[in-house]
A = this chain, B = another copy of it.
Amino acid sequence: MEIPKDHLVDMYSTMVKIRYFEERLREIYFADKLPAFDIAAGEVPGEMHLAAGQEPVAVGTMPHLKAGDAITATHRPHHVAIAQGLDLKRMAAEIFGKDTGLGHGKGGHMHLFSAEPNFGCSGIIAEGMPVAVGAALAFKKLGKDNVAISFFGEGAANQGAFHESLNLAALWNLPVVFICEDNAYAISVPKEASTAVPDNSDRASAYGMPGVLVPENDPVAVYEVVREAIARARAGDGPSLIEVKTDRLWGHFEGDADAYRTDEFKDSMGDRDALVVFGDRLLEEGVLTAADREGITERMHNEVDEAIDFARNSPDPAPEDALLHVFA
């Protein structure tokens, strides 16, 4: 593959960072909720949607982004946010509900917002799709060559906002790339029980835009397809729809018994863990030495540990600050 080495290394490093960040969160999330799981308890309460296994779609997009490019992500936003380069400390602090968080603790893990990098996410399915269209509209009106990337799950592709957003983006020829993370499930509902066609990428024809399927959960495959789509968008040639088959290794949210997926299925995902597969491949292909790989792992883990320490050691917001920020 003729991909710059630094891109390969960055993608792998970021995958390591994302995975370790989520592993740490997961461990902390459960630590003080067990034995009798209480969703309201502990350092990190509330719903927690982790993206372990879905790193490729995020890191394969990252190398093609430039300053000002907008991303709207979903209720499962960490992998994308980290790939785009959000301040890991302030992101972690927000997830811990601290005053040093991106939203001073008001938003939490489903509501991470940042001006630069230009990132937003949401707890409502497909809510970010029209917002990405609007960001792209602003770029066009302001004569910027930025693009907007809308990430959404395969379950979101049956929400009306999907249809309205793709039609508007195509109609107005806007620089948007719609990236569907197809992890085959919407909570417990498998794609075949929710979607009348096998591949959402085929729905692009309903809007006269290109639709491309990325059949493997591989950063390089994502990299190549997204490069195309972003180049197209930056050149003023309009939006694209991409669907990436990926794996959600863990439950829908932490605490999910995940009984709706068979052990076979879950094991098979484990066996093909993109993080391991991609790391091994970079070794085989000589992109990385074993030492490089260890070095990366150590650096990434340190960065994550620092961010989490920062979050833990940050102060809570003052209770009465709840009344602030309703209006500017």
Chain A residues packing against B (C-beta within 8 Å) = 158-164, 166-167, 170-171, 193-197, 202-203, 205-209
Tell me if A207 and B202 are in contact (CB < 8 A).
no
Chain B residues with CB under 8 Å of A167's CB are: 158, 195-196
Which listed residue, B163, B170, B194, B206, touches A160 by the CB 8 Å rule? B163
Tell me if B208 and A206 are in contact (CB < 8 A).
no
Distance of A171 Cα from B195 Cα, bound (Å)? 7
Distance of A125 Cα from B93 Cα, bound (Å)? 44
Tell me if A164 and B171 are in contact (CB < 8 A).
no
For A203, give the chain B residue with the smallest CB separation: B206
| Max chain B C-beta neighbours (<10 A), residue from A160, A166, A194, A195 | A160
Chain B residues with CB under 8 Å of A164's CB are: 158-160, 163
Distance of A47 Cα from B323 Cα, bound (Å)? 45
Distance of A94 Cα from B208 Cα, bound (Å)? 43
Chain B residues with CB under 8 Å of A162's CB are: 160, 163
Chain B residues with CB under 8 Å of A202's CB are: 205-206
Which listed residue, B170, B205, B209, touches A206 by the CB 8 Å rule? B205
Chain B residues with CB under 8 Å of A160's CB are: 159-164
Instruction: Tell me the smallest distance from the CB of A33 to a CB of chain B, in Å.
Output: 36
Chain B residues with CB under 8 Å of A159's CB are: 160, 164
Distance of A258 Cα from B208 Cα, bound (Å)? 30
Instruction: Tell me the smallest distance from the CB of A295 to a CB of chain B, in Å.
Output: 47
Distance of A207 Cα from B203 Cα, bound (Å)? 8
A163-B163, A202-B206 given; 10 more Cβ-contact pairs under 8 Å: A160-B161, A160-B162, A160-B163, A171-B195, A196-B208, A196-B209, A197-B205, A197-B207, A203-B206, A205-B205
For A211, give the chain B residue with the smallest CB separation: B206
Instruction: Tell me the smallest distance from the CB of A14 to a CB of chain B, in Å.
Output: 34
Chain B residues with CB under 8 Å of A203's CB are: 206
Distance of A194 Cα from B159 Cα, bound (Å)? 19
Instruction: Tell me the smallest distance from the CB of A140 to a CB of chain B, in Å.
Output: 16
Distance of A43 Cα from B208 Cα, bound (Å)? 47
Tell me if B196 and A170 are in contact (CB < 8 A).
yes
Distance of A163 Cα from B197 Cα, bound (Å)? 13
Nearest 10 pairs between A and B by C-beta? A160-B160, A163-B163, A170-B196, A206-B206, A203-B206, A196-B207, A171-B196, A197-B208, A167-B196, A196-B208
Distance of A162 Cα from B193 Cα, bound (Å)? 19
| Max chain B C-beta neighbours (<10 A), residue from A166, A167, A195, A209 | A167
Distance of A194 Cα from B171 Cα, bound (Å)? 7
